[in-house]
Each structure stands twice: as structure tokens, then as C-alpha cells.
């Protein structure tokens, strides 16, 4: 198990359907990291949508990368964008969006969104990521 996000390796594999535009979705419903101020655990539900190019994100390496945040302290916004940028740098997708749906810290839920690239024309993407606004998720 990687001890930190910097030490974790994200792997990619060749996309056997690279000539076809489509969307792939990863859902990480039990993400944990630490609050950089208090050291208390933070919890989030991540949804990652992307239109692959030549590369796919290898799922086991994603699982281990996400696990590597368990003892890492970072703010919600930084964590969400950091994950999105790392995935984008690894697989160079045509388009990627990440939604970090964070459970309340101090009574306030924080949802963070980031995207990069241009979605190919003609692709169907659900209008939302299926995670309801916080109401005791």
C-alpha cells in the first residue's frame, strides 16, 4: 500500500476502443483523508467521468492511489483538484470531470468540481453525477 499520494503510482493501459468516443465513470464512495488543521478524518464520495483517448485508467492503481490519502492532510478543494490533475496527467483524456462530494466538516458539506479538456461532440453524459446534495447522504 502506498504511504502517500506522492508515492502512489497511477497506471494506464492502452484503450482498445481508442477510435470510438465514449464516457467511462469511476465511483469512489468511501474516500478518506485527514483535515490538515485538526488531523480528524474527512470522508468523501468521488465520481470521475472521462472520455478516454489512447489510454484508460487502470482501476487497481486508482484504488491504491485513492487509498494513499488515508493519512494525508489536505483541504477538500486541494484534494479534489489534485486527484483530477493527476489522473489527467497520467491518461491524457479528451475530457475529464471529477466531483468530490464531501461530508460535513464543522456542519458544512463542501462539494468540489473540476474538469479539463473538451467533451467530444455527440457524447451522452448524465447531467449530474447522481449524488444528491447533502441531506444526511
Find the CATH number of the domain harbouring 52.
Answer: 3.30.1130.10
In a domain, 131, yes or no: no
In a domain, 125, yes or no: no
In a domain, 62, yes or no: yes
CA 92, CA 70: separation in Å to the nearest integer?
A: 26
For the residues 49-77, what does the mean pLDDT come to? Answer: 97
Q: Residue 133 pLDDT > 80, yes or no?
A: no
Which range, of 54-68, 88-102, 116-130, averages the lowest pLDDT? 116-130
In a domain, 41, yes or no: yes
Which range, of 1-10, 40-49, 67-76, 102-111, averages the lowest pLDDT? 102-111
Q: What is the pTM of this model?
A: 0.90
Question: Assign residue 36 a region: left if phi > 0, alpha if psi is -120 to 50, beta otherwise?
Answer: alpha
In a domain, 33, yes or no: yes
Q: Residue 22 pLDDT > 90, yes or no?
A: yes
* Residues noted as catalytic: 35, 42
Range of the structural domain that residue 75 is part of = 12-107
Q: Are 125 and 96 in contact (CB under 8 A)?
A: no
pLDDT at position 50 is 97
Number of domains comprising the chain:
1
In a domain, 26, yes or no: yes
Q: What is the mean pLDDT of the chain?
A: 92
For the residues 125-134, what does the mean pLDDT come to? Answer: 67
pLDDT at position 123 is 86
Q: Residue 6 pLDDT > 90, yes or no?
A: yes
Residue among 88, 109, 114, 107 at smallest CA distance from 44: 109
Amino acid at each position: 500500500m502506498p504511504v502517500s499520494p506522492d508515492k502512489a503510482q497511477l497506471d494506464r493501459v492502452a484503450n482498445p476502443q481508442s477510435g470510438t468516443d465514449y464516457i467511462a465513470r469511476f465511483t469512489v464512495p468511501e474516500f478518506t483523508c485527514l483535515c490538515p488543521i485538526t488531523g480528524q478524518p474527512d470522508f468523501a464520495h468521488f465520481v470521475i467521468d472521462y472520455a478516454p483517448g489512447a489510454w484508460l485508467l487502470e482501476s487497481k492503481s486508482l484504488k491504491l492511489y485513492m487509498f494513499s490519502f488515508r493519512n494525508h492532510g489536505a483541504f477538500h478543494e486541494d484534494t479534489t483538484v489534485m486527484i483530477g490533475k493527476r489522473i489527467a496527467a497520467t491518461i491524457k483524456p479528451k475530457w475529464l470531470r471529477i466531483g468530490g462530494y464531501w461530508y460535513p466538516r464543522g456542519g458544512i458539506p463542501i462539494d468540489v468540481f473540476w474538469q479539463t479538456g473538451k467533451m467530444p461532440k455527440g457524447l451522452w453524459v448524465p447531467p449530474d453525477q447522481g449524488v444528491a446534495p447533502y441531506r444526511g447522504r
